[in-house]
Amino acid sequence: MTAVADIVRAAHRERPQALAARDALGGPLVLRAVVLGASDVSRVSDLHERVCAAASPDTVRHDPPEFFIRVASGEGALLGFEGAEDGRLAAYGVVTFPGPDTDHCGRLIGLADGPLVAQFNGVAVDPSLRGNGLQRHLGRWRMATAARLGRRHVVSTASPRNVPSWVNLLSLGLVIRGLHVTYGALRYVFHTDLEADMPRGDARPVGLDDLAGQRKLLAAGWGGVGWTGGRRPEALLFADLTGRR
């Protein structure tokens, strides 16, 4: 296990600047990035419970407070944004750092090497502050923290039905490499190698609902690398990644 102090130091080093954001009514506010600790778990859990109450369990995994305590106690990092004026938690993102024997979602796509892996393990944005790109900001911060700790592979999952989440993961450069039932529901398994180039080449559109077609391409070594339709996704783009991780 990586020492808590090393994780906190790495997260602080990579901490982004404060952000200018908009609330649900369009009012301006400033959000500052915060490394959250065990004493912040009740704030994180409160936001998580509110988000879970409004979401289907197929799209958002429910985690008890003990999960967040374990993360803050050495399994990973709890990163967040809070209001600069009122200190209210606007968003959190979890990244965990598996050990040699720790289970992680990369195993579903044949990635065995736990000590080189970082897993995005949950993210939520307060409903009144969505649309400010906070998942992407937290994703970049989690990736930079992982890289600083020598973690080369970043893995994550998202439900095909959770469009804002998979759009953001693709925007961060993660690639869909599998489609599996995990955490109790069907989810894409994402991966990126922080030390390798982004995949290039021709990409083929596949319908968002054509999960059989997507599965066939994934089994043939293709990966989901993008989408068409901009802010209202219409199709996923798959590219031939045969021979690449």
Q: Which residues bind ligand COA (CB under 6 A)?
A: 51, 55, 59-61, 122-125, 130-135, 158, 162, 164-165, 168, 231
Q: Which backbone phi and psi does 14 adopt, to 5 degrees?
A: -95, 5
The nearest distance, CB 122 to ligand COA, in angstroms, is: 5
Nearer to ligand COA, 52 or 144 (CB): 52
DSSP string, 229-245: STTS--EEEEEE-TT--
Nearer to ligand COA, 118 or 217 (CB): 118
The nearest distance, CB 12 to ligand COA, in angstroms, is: 22
The nearest distance, CB 51 to ligand COA, in angstroms, is: 5
The nearest distance, CB 39 to ligand COA, in angstroms, is: 23
| C-alpha distances in Å from residue 238, one per residue of 166, 212, 218 | 14, 13, 9
Nearer to ligand COA, 21 or 41 (CB): 21
Q: Are the C-beta atoms of residues 194 and 152 closer than 8 Å to each other?
A: yes
Nearer to ligand COA, 190 or 222 (CB): 190
Nearer to ligand COA, 17 or 242 (CB): 17
> Can you tell me the distance from the alpha carbon of 171 to that of 166, in angstroms, rounded to the nearest whole number?
8
Q: Are the C-beta atoms of residues 37 and 73 closer than 8 Å to each other?
A: no
The nearest distance, CB 244 to ligand COA, in angstroms, is: 26
Closest CA to 138 of 180, 89, 203, 184: 89
